[in-house]
Amino acid sequence: MSSLLSPLDALGQRVGLAGTSPLLALALTHSSYAAEHGVESNERLEFLGDAVVDLAVADLIVTSYPTLNEGTGSLVRSRVVNESSLANAAQRLELASAMRVGRGVAKENGLERPSLLADAFEAVVAALYLERGYDVAKAFVHDALAQDVAAAALQPGDVDPKARLRQWSEANGHGTPVYKVTSTGPSHDAMYYANVKVDGLVARGEGRSKKSAEASAAEHAWEQHA
């Protein structure tokens, strides 16, 4: 019978929300679709979901890995709460099957973009939080990311570029790296450009999302200082 379900209903079963949930539909509405149809996008839910995911992963680290200290726990979290990891979680849940995107994004295979998928994952978490409460949202995040946290806990030093650069900069008395991000193009198909200033030098990077541009800039800065 599951094969007869619509993509939205099938996804609703996987994440724990009814296929008819307005919040689920909103969580899956990309800004490109919203612009074409005059409806709200998932950006506000993504903003909320980002905070919920961050808290839920921190909770998982503290409760499941009591031997990790604060610094190592932060490194583990940075490896899990990032665009690549959340996009992979979205792929495992097949969020793209029910996403609503604009014609241009669909034509350019935009449903494969890590930034779009990561944002949708966070928006779905926010929908769960608003409709069913924090405990349900937390359990969903734990289930979706437990293996990622376990892998990161085994090798906490293998961190994302921003966390690695920040750790090095602060340990060497240079303070926290400062990022400045600009973008070009429409919001649903923008290109982002990031500058990061650390130890008196500026490194640059670009990407299809603010997060990926900052990560690229951090990687270039690290290469300059390594």
pLDDT tens figures, 83-121: 889 999 999 999 999 999 999 888 888 788 888 999 999
pLDDT mean over 212-225? 85
**Residue type for position 174:** H
pLDDT mean over 41-48? 97
* Domain 2-159, classified CATH 3.40.50.300, yes or no: no
Q: At what angle do helices 43-64 and 114-132 cross, to 10 degrees?
A: 80
Check residue 190 and give left, alpha or beta (phi > 0: left; psi -120 to 50: alpha): beta
Check if 2-159 and 162-225 are the same fold: no
Q: Which residues are catalytic?
A: 50, 122
Question: Above pLDDT 90, what percent of the chain?
Answer: 58
Q: How confident is the model at residue 1 (pLDDT cuts 50, 70, 90)?
A: very low
Residue positions counted in the chain: 226
* Number of neighbouring beta carbons within 10 Å of residue 134: 14
Interatomic CA distance for residues 126 and 60, integer angstroms: 18
Helices (H), the chain: 7-15, 22-27, 31-37, 43-64, 70-80, 83-93, 103-107, 114-132, 134-154, 161-171, 210-225
CATH fold of 162-225 reads Double Stranded RNA Binding Domain (3.30.160)
pLDDT mean over 34-46? 95
Q: Which residues contact 8 (CB under 8 A, 6 or more apart)?
A: 19, 24, 25, 28, 98
Question: Above pLDDT 70, what percent of the chain?
Answer: 96
Q: What pLDDT does residue 2 have? A: 47
Q: What pLDDT does residue 3 have? A: 56
How do the domains of the chain map onto residue ranges? 2-159, 162-225
Distances (CA, A) of 89 to 32, 44, 130: 22, 20, 20
Q: Which of 126, 136, 141 has the alpha carbon at shortest distance from 46?
A: 126
Q: What pLDDT does residue 75 have? A: 80
